[in-house]
Every structure is written in C-alpha cells, then in structure tokens.
Structure 1
Amino acid sequence: MNIFTVLAEIFKSSGFAALHWEQLVMILVAFVLLYLAIVKKFEPLLLLPIAFGMMLANLPLTGLMIDATAVPKEELITALDSSNIEGIKNAMYKYISIKWYDSGILYNLYTGVKSGLFPALIFLGVGAMTDFGPLLANPVSLFLGAAAQLGIYVAFSLSIGLGIFTPEEAASIAIIGGADGPTAIYLTSKLAPHLLGPIAVAAYSYMALIPIIQPPIMRALTTKKEREVVMSQLRTVTKAEKIIFPIVVAVICILLLPAVGPLLGMLMLGNLFRESGVVERLNETAQNALINIVTIMLGVTVGATANGTIFLKVQTLAIICIGLLAFAFSTAGGVLLGKVMYMVTGGKINPLIGSAGVSAVPMAARVSQVEGQKANSKNFLLMHAMGANVSGVIGSAVAAGFLLLLFGK
C-alpha cells in the first residue's frame, strides 16, 4: 500500500468526502452570523453560540445531533402496524436496548429546549435583571407594549394566507414579531418543533439587527417635531409597588391564560428575587451564573437544529421574509400608537418610545434613545422607552400563551 492509497482512504473516511452542498451553505451562513456577532457585536451573547452550533451540526459525521432512538422507534411503529408478533418482539427489544445517552451530545442537551426548560430559565434570569420601575411610573407604557405585538397577528394572517403553513406553524412563525427569542423557542417547541431552527435563527438575527431595522421605520412614521419632544422625568416608584407588581401580574395573567405560566411565572419570580431584597444570593445567581450557562446550552443547541438538508427549503425563505415583516409591523404598531398618545396628550409623549414596545430588552430602548438624541440633543428617552420595552416582554409572553391556548394540543 503506497502513500497515495493511504491518503485516499483517509480522505474517503473524512468529513470532506461526506460534505454536501446544503451543509456547505449552512456553514457559510454560520460564518456570516459569527461575523455579525464578533465584528459588528450584534447580540453576540446569543448569536455567537447559535452560529457556532449551526456550524458544528453541519460538519458531517460528527453525530452531535443524532437521535439514537429514532430508527428503532420507526421500526417498532412499522412492526406494530404489521401485527407481526415476532417482528414486534425484535423491534421492542431493539428499542429498549437503545439508551438516551447513546444519542449525540448536542441532541441530549436539546432536550432542555424541547421541554421548554431552557426558555423558562432564561426568563427567570431576565426577570432578575429587569426593572419594572419605568412601567410602574408610566403605566400607559403597557399600551405601547401591546401595540408593538401587531406584527405577531399580521405575520399569522400572512402565513395562513400563503397556504403553505398549518395554523400551528403559522402561530410559531408569527411570534417572531414579538422580538423575544426565548418566547419564540418555547412556543415553536410546543407547536412546530420541526421549524425550530429557522424560526430561532430568524428571531435572534432580527433582534440583533434592531439598530438597522428599526430607525428607518421610526423616521418614516414620525415628523421631526415629534422626534424632538422632550419627556418629563418619571416619578420615583416605591419598593412596595415593585414587590407587589410581579405577584399581581403573575396571578392575574396566569389565571387568565394558564398556558403562559411557565414563561411569565419564571419572569415574575426572577423579578421578585430582585425587588424583595431578601434573596440576594438567588438574585445574583439568576442574573449571572444561571442565565449565562443556560444561554450557552440554548444557543448552541438551537443553532444545531439548523441542519442544511432541512433548513434550505422554500418554507425557510418564507419564514425569513415573514419574520422581517412581523418585526417591521411590530415596530410600526408601537410608533403609531405613540403618535396617537402624542396627539392625545398635547405633545407630551415622544412617539419614538413606541418602537421599544418590542420585547428586545434593552436594545430596542437604546435605539429609541439614540434616535431621540439625533433629533434633539436634550432628549433622554431611555427610561421612558424601557417602560415600553419591559411591557413588550410581558406582551409577547401573553401573546404566546394565547396562541398556545388556541393551537396547543
């Protein structure tokens, strides 16, 4: 055996020989997302692990996302349909002998996504980091958060109208308009798990691109005079208000929509950790160690669902386009209601804060602040925008609960 034969055999057994064009395309997409995360710093905490997970899953022969139980499960179903007793016994034995840990490491971690565990824990951490003070100081912000969910319902109607998506798939696609990655993952894992890859990538990509997507829409829908409005300072919110708020919201919203319990319950528990002042260790863990660990596992495993052979379909392109429209309509919905409030209050509310009604905390609020200062250097809209922003977190979770109530099994 000469050296060329050895090299040829090594190449045949390598991933290079097994690389398909779909996988190559997805690896290139992963490189683009890594560039956006590292160089452009677009939502790097989430985009970087998602992109790297996408790259790993599309490297052939790694087995990282292999479900070891899939084939035995299919064989068992076939045997049961055939009513062949011997075949059923053999298939049953084979199915039982395969253990969950025989699956790929990323597939096993992915169980946390499918079960809804990771999104719920992310919400726990988000709650611990969120200050609902701006919302309590200016309760009308809640309406801006509700208006900024417009894209969800527009996207749902459009998805149904295309005729290529089921109602469950349409609901999962629509939630991209809420600009809340964990909520999109949670709802999709319950209603359309086969679309988790494209929906998660679209949701997080558009969240990362908020500084590019939102400003043109905000400027197109407002006048210079409206953008120049300087809003008065918010009142000081008492500690008692901040403690009572998460308890009351959790009780009322979960009684109204029980399906929203896992997300909204964890969000408000995390916030109670923060505001109670008696569990500093738990608050510190939820804000830092816990959310960081879960973000890594959620990001990598969600990215790993973007398999080239599944991802590169007409449906995926439709999801990407509808997701962008959903984002645009959500931004427009918040800004337009902001314009209405501007007129009703005699010019006391700057419509720009309405764009922060999407759930991307705190990036959307920062965009409102930046655009406001471009129009008027005396503008300090951040805290006002944060009121709308945290309202959007609640609004997207409630919208997800409503869709889950309608289409969940």
Structure 2
Amino acid sequence: MNFIEVFKGIMLESGFVGATWQELVMILISFVLIYMAIVKKYEPLLLLPIAFGMFLANLPLAGLMKEAEPWYSSGVLRIIYSGVKSSLFPCLIFTCVGAMTDFGPLIANPISLLLGAAAQFGIYIAFMLANATGLFTVGEAAAIGIIGGADGPTAIYIANNLAPELVAPIAVAAYSYMALIPMIQPPIMRALTSEKERKIKMGQLRKVTKVEKVVFPVFVTLFCALLLPSTAPLIGMLMYGNLLKESGVVARLSDTAQNALCNLVTLLLGLSVGATANGTIFLRTQTLAIIGMGLMAFCFSTVGGVLLGKVLCIITGGKINPLIGSAGVSAVPMAARVAQVEGAKANPTNFLLMHAMGPNVAGVIGSAVAAGFFMMVFGK
C-alpha cells in the first residue's frame, strides 16, 4: 500500500481542498455571531443555535444540508429543517410564548391594542420600500417588512411561506435587532418625548378576573381567524398556549409548554434556521439591503408606537406616558423593560412595566395579524 497516494487521495477529497470562498466567509460570520452570543450575550438562546447551525451547514463537503430522495438520505440538518419548512417550529414556539404570556395588562387597558397596532407601522414602511427597490418580489418585500414587528417566529413563518430563500438573513436580522432593543429604542424614545412626558406616572391597573383571562384567548382566536383565516396557525397556537396557562386545570401541560417544549423547539429552530445560511445566497447585495431595511422597519415601529402614545397622552389629559407606546413591538418582555428603564430615569418613582406589558403583548397579536394579512394577499 502506497501511503503517500492514500494520503494524497484523502487530501483531494477533504474539505481543505473543496472549500469555497463563500463557505469560508460564512464560517467566519458564524464565529462572529458565536462571539456575540457568548461574550456579548445578545439573545444567546437563539443566536447561539443559529450561529452554530450556520457553521455546520457551511463545513465544506459535509453535506449536512443536502437534499436527497428518499428523504431519510438527506443531511441531518435538512431533515430537522422540515420543521421550519412545514411551519411546525414557529407555531410550536407561539404555543410556548402563549403559555408564558399574561394578557392581563392588555385586558385591563384595552387602549393598549391601539399602541400595539401603531407599533407595526415600520412593517408597512419597510414593505413599501423593499417593494420599490425592485430587488425583491412582493412576497419577499412582505417578509422583510415583518422584521419591524420584532417577532422572530413570525418573521420565520412568513419568510418560509413567501420568501424561502431569504429565511436565514431575515431570521438573523430579526433576532439581532430584538437583542439590540436596549440600544436602538432609547435614543428614539428620548428624541420624540419631553422630560415632562417621560415623568408621567400612570395609575394602577384594575384587577382582571379569571373568567376574563379564560374567555380572552378563545375570543381573540375566533375573531382573528374569522377576519383573517391565514392568521389561524399563529394566533391559534399562541392562544392555545395561553389557555393552558389561564385555565388552571392543566398545570403539567402549561409547565411543559413553558419549559421543556420551549427549550426543545428553540434548540432545533435556531439550528435549522442557521443552517439555511448558504454562502451563495447569503453573500449578496440583497442581504445587506435586508439588514438595512430591517433596522429601518424596527425604528419606524418604535416611532409609530411613541407618536400614538403622545396623541393618547394629550387626549387623556396626561394620563398615559408616551414611553409605553415603544413597547408595542413584539419583543416580550424586553421592550416593556426598556420603557420601564427610560421612565425610571426621568422619575425614579415611576413604574411603567405592567402598563408597557399591555402594548407589548398586543404587539405579538399585531405582528401575527400583519403576517396573516400578507399571507392572504401575497400567498401562493
């Protein structure tokens, strides 16, 4: 046996020789994201799985994302990705989110629905801009716009249905901006409000009964599904998880949705989404455009929420602090915490967290409704 020839054959078939420049660049990007997740702690629960999925999928000649017939001959990441392609993972995540969400502040203060709706402003601005550039189809423009809702599962859901090739850049942009909320929102909030407005203290919310909390998920599901049937998968699973929590009779199921199921789906969702970051698709002008328009969408969503908050402040005679409008984006509860922090800076005795949670959870519903609208209009 000629060991030199054997070694030569191994090297010729190795990833060292077969690597493309796109794969190497994507591996470097994955290292940056891993650093951000571990060292900077930017949304690590999803950014770390996404980054490592990106790393695995771009290993030269490994074939972890290869597609083959029969299906079980495909790469392992391609098989896991079927959970994204079928929209199973995003819907399961919504079940988990519903089980962890308290809609009490929204029920106690229904005006929060308006603030949650206003904070979807950036979705439509980014959609119109993306559509006007000519770089994207109308479905891809709709998927890009959803980044402005700061709702990762919804962004993945609509991208998977309307822009499958853009799932990776849209998901990475959505979760990156969610992680950067404490940096992005405060300057906008301070620029649009006066110190007097930020000091406004809001009265205590009324106590919400158990009957209201049980009826709410059923009513919202019925109303939204009848109005926009395409919202049923997301809204239905969100409210199913919430009903498990609020019913009080299935504690084990609620606990499973909040913990074990949430952790498992997050693990697989992040890994498989990152695995879609193919270098030949990811490294092009469109990706930079998506990242830029996603940031713009997020900023305009914050602007929309705060401006309506100012209007409501005037109408109510100064009873509503405009800062809570910024929490209308769907990043629960991070956006509400940012509103609390900014309010406390202006007035240390200010406690806006529960008031901000109303628009915050309304934003989850709002982004799902916006996604359902786009699906109905632009879906195949």
Shorter-chain TM-score tier: over 0.9
1:37 aligns with 37
1:22 aligns with 22
1:364 aligns with 335
Amino acid at match of 1:39: V
Amino acid at match of 1:15: G
1:228 aligns with 199
Matches within 5 A, 1:103-252: 103-252=74-223
- Out of 259, 275, 278, the residue aligned to residue 307 of structure 1 is 278
Q: Deviations over 1:59-104 (max 9, x none)?
A: 1111110011xxxxxxxxxxxxxxxxxxxxxxxxxxxxx3100000
Q: CA deviation at 1:266?
A: 0.4
1:279 aligns with 250
Amino acid at match of 1:202: A
The DSSP-based 3-state class of the residue aligned with 2:24 is helix
* Contact kept in structure 1, 2:113 and 2:358, CA below 8 Å: yes
CA distance in 2, matches of 1:64, 1:354: 44
CA distance in 1, matches of 2:154, 2:252: 26
* Contact kept in structure 1, 2:112 and 2:362, CA below 8 Å: yes
2:265 aligns with 294
Q: Deviations over 1:364-402 (max 9, x none)?
A: 111111111111111111111111100000000000000
Q: Rg: which structure is higher?
A: 1
- Out of 358, 371, 378, the residue aligned to residue 400 of structure 1 is 371
Q: CA deviation at 1:329?
A: 0.4
CA distance in 1, matches of 2:197, 2:79: 52
Amino acid at match of 2:58: N
Amino acid at match of 1:271: N
CA distance in 1, matches of 2:133, 2:46: 31
Moved over 6 A (4+): 1-5
Q: CA deviation at 1:194?
A: 1.1
Q: CA deviation at 1:14?
A: 2.3
Q: CA deviation at 1:5?
A: 6.2
CA distance in 2, matches of 1:15, 1:356: 47
Please tell me whether residue 254 in structure 1 is matched to residue 225 in structure 2: yes
Instruction: Give aligned pairs, total.
Output: 380
Q: CA deviation at 1:11?
A: 3.4
CA distance in 2, matches of 1:207, 1:163: 27
Please tell me whether residue 388 in structure 1 is matched to residue 362 in structure 2: no
The DSSP-based 3-state class of the residue aligned with 1:110 is helix
- What CA RMSD, in Å, does the superposition of the two structures yield over aligned residues? 1.3
Amino acid at match of 2:102: D
Q: CA deviation at 1:195?
A: 1.0
* Contact kept in structure 1, 2:326 and 2:335, CA below 8 Å: yes
The DSSP-based 3-state class of the residue aligned with 1:66 is coil
Q: CA deviation at 1:9?
A: 4.3
* Contact kept in structure 1, 2:57 and 2:278, CA below 8 Å: yes
1:325 aligns with 296
Amino acid at match of 1:29: I
Q: CA deviation at 1:54?
A: 0.8
2:54 aligns with 54
CA distance in 2, matches of 1:4, 1:348: 81
CA distance in 1, matches of 2:147, 2:54: 19
My pick for the range that moved more, 29-38 or 110-119, is 29-38
What are structure 1's unaligned runs of at least 5 residues? 69-97
